[in-house]
Amino acid sequence: MYDDEVLQYFLNHQERLFPERVAETVEEAEEFLEDCMAVVVNSKREVWEYFEEEGVDMEEADEDAILEADEVFDIGDGRYLIVEG
């Protein structure tokens, strides 16, 4: 479900969401992401749709604010990892 690029990105940036590291290896990262049911979406629009489906109040938010949320990780290739901490 999570490719090496996503897993490595999460390993390198996990402190943005969590005060302490939750994973030290790619395997631990994959297990953690599976446990918290993190999702990878393919566009900014899909990030927005994900939050809408989850019932997050976005009335005051714009696309940039959603993309800057701590739980949204921009993989850098157009995909986004969403981790609910």
Return averaged pLDDT per consecutive 10 residues of the chain, 85 residues in all: 95 94 97 96 93 80 82 96 87
Question: Strand, coil or helix: what is 56?
Answer: coil
Residue 83 and residue 33 in contact, taking contact as beta carbons nearer than 8 Å: yes
Range of the domain at 75: 4-82
User: What pLDDT does residue 43 have?
Assistant: 95
Domain count, the chain: 1
User: What pLDDT does residue 79 have?
Assistant: 97
Query: What is residue 15's DSSP assignment?
Result: G
For the entire predicted model, the pTM comes to 0.90
Structure tokens at 29: 């990262």
